[in-house]
Amino acid sequence: MRRVPLWLIVGVALLGAALALRFTVFRTSALPVDVARVEPGTVEETVTNTRAGTVKARRRAKLSPQIGGRVTELPYRKGAHVEAGALLLRLDDSVQQAQVRLAAEQVKTAESQARQACLAADLAETQLKRGVALSADGITSQQDLDTLQSTRDQTRAACQAARAAADQARAQVGVAQAELALTVVRAPFSGVVADCSTEVGEWITPAPPGVPIPAVLDLIDPGSVYVSAPIDEVDSQRVRVGQEVRLTVDSLPGQHLAGTLVRVAPYVVDLLEQNRTVEIEVDLTDTKVAATLLPGTSADVEVIIARREGVLRIPTSAIAEGGKVLVLASGRLVERTVATGMRNWQFTEVKSGVERGELVVTSRDSPDIRPGAKARAREVR
C-alpha cells in the first residue's frame, strides 16, 4: 500500500483550518443599515423660513400714563383678562379733582357776573328809550341823550364780555376734566395684561417734553396672534397670499399647526449683505390654539407651494449626489440611479430607478456602506 506523503496531509489540514476560520472567526458580518420602503404617498414642494420665525400679536399696546404721579389704583395684575375701557391704572388725582371743582365754581361766578352785567345793559337800554321820548318833547337835552346812549353801549359791551368770560370758564372745566383724565390708563381693547412693572404707592416719574414715559403695562389681544418669519429672497416670487402653511412652535413640540399665508412683505430686508430675506405673515387656522401661544415664542413655517398625492416616494436623505441610491436586495447593497420629481426636505418623488416595496438606505454614516457590501435592515421606515 502506497503511503500518503506527510506534507500533503499537513497541507490539507492547514487548508481546512483556514477555511474554518474564514467562515467562522473571520466571516464578514452583514452591516446593519437604516432603510425605508418605497411606497406611494404625498409629496409637497415647500418653502421654509431661513431663520426662526416669531409668534407676534397684531394688537399689542405698551401703556403708560401721560403724566407722572403716585400710583393709587392697580386693579389688574399679570395674566388678567380685561375688557376694552377697563381701568388699568390710576394716579393720585387730588390736585386735578380740586382743579375741576375750582373750575366749576369759577363758572358759577362768571355766570353771575354775566347776569349782572346784562341786567345793567337792559336798564341802560330802557333809560335810553325813555330819554329819546323825553327829547322829542324837548325835556331832555342832546347832551343828556348822548350820555344815555354811551352808557347803553358800554353796558352792552360789558354784558357781551361777561358772557364770553362765562363761556371761557365753562371751557376751563373741560380743560380740568381732560387733565383729570390723564391720571388714569384704560384698556384700549380687550386683552390680557402681559406685564406690569409698577405697584401701588410707587411714583411714576414724568419724562422731559417729547420723550414718552417708559411703559408700565403691556396689553396683548390673544385673538390677534400671528407668526412672522423670514424666507430667502429667491423664494419671494413663489409664495403668495392664501397659500396653505404648516407651522411648528417650540412650545408645542411634535405638533403641526395649520395656517394660511396672509401677507408677503413688498420689500427685501437687507440688513446683512449676504442674508437678504422677505418677511411673511401667517394666521393660524385654529384661533383657540393661537390664543394659547405666547408672543415671542420661536416658530418655523413651511409654505406649501404644490402637492402631489399617491406618487412613489422615498426619504430625501436616501438620495446621494447624481440621484444615486443604495437598494438592499438579497442581503447586499446595490447602487441605482433614480429619476426624481417633486421634493422637499422630507420626501422626494421617484419616477424611475426603484420599484414599489424595495428598501433604500436612508443613512450613509459609515464608509463601509457602499455598493456590494453585505447588509441587513436595522430599521424600516
Share of the chain above pLDDT 90, in %: 55
**Confidence (pLDDT) at 167:** 92
Q: What DSSP string runs through 289-350?
A: HHHHSPTT-EEEEEEEEEEEEEEEEEEGGG--GGGEEEEEETTEEEEEE-EEEEE-SSEEEE
**Confidence (pLDDT) at 27:** 45
Is it the case that residue 311 has pLDDT exceeding 90?
Answer: yes
* Average pLDDT, rounded, for the chain: 87
Query: If pLDDT is split at 50, 70 and 90, which confidence band does 138 have?
Result: low
CATH number of 69-91+183-220: 2.40.50.100
Query: If pLDDT is split at 50, 70 and 90, which confidence band does 12 have?
Result: low
Query: What are the phi and psi torsion angles at 215 (to 5°)?
Result: -65, 140
**Confidence (pLDDT) at 271:** 66
**Confidence (pLDDT) at 24:** 47
Element (H, E) at 362: none
Q: What is the pLDDT of residues 208-250, one digit of tens each?
A: 776 777 889 999 998 899 999 999 988 988 999 999 999 999 8
**Confidence (pLDDT) at 41:** 94
CA dihedral 299, 303, 308, 313 (to 10 degrees): -40
Tell me if 31-42+308-380 shares its fold with 53-57+222-307: no
Q: What is the pLDDT of residues 320-379, one digit of tens each?
A: 999 999 999 989 999 999 999 998 888 999 999 999 999 999 988 888 889 999 999 887
What does the block give as the cell for 115?
Answer: 347776569
Is there a contact between 248 and 46 (Cβ–Cβ < 8 Å)? no
Is it the case that residue 274 has pLDDT exceeding 90?
Answer: no
What's domain 31-42+308-380's architecture?
A: Beta Barrel (2.40)
Coil vs helix vs strand at 201: coil
**Confidence (pLDDT) at 1:** 44
**Confidence (pLDDT) at 147:** 80
CA distances from 28 to 66, 130, 262, 375 (A): 82, 138, 58, 10
**Confidence (pLDDT) at 137:** 66
**Confidence (pLDDT) at 29:** 76
CA dihedral over 147, 149, 155, 160, signed as positive or negative = negative
Share of the chain above pLDDT 70, in %: 89
**Pick the residue with more confidence: 19 or 134?**
134
Is it the case that residue 121 has pLDDT exceeding 60?
Answer: yes
**Domain locations along the chain:** 31-42+308-380, 53-57+222-307, 69-91+183-220, 94-181
Q: What is the pLDDT of residues 148-177, one digit of tens each?
A: 788 888 888 989 998 999 999 999 999 999
Domain 53-57+222-307 has CATH 2.40.30.170: yes
Coil vs helix vs strand at 53: strand
CA distances from 86 to 66, 208, 235 (A): 17, 28, 45
Q: List the one residue out of 245, 242, 307, 305 whose CA is nearest residue 53.
A: 245
Which residues are CB-neighbours of 104 under 8 A, at least 6 positions away? 173
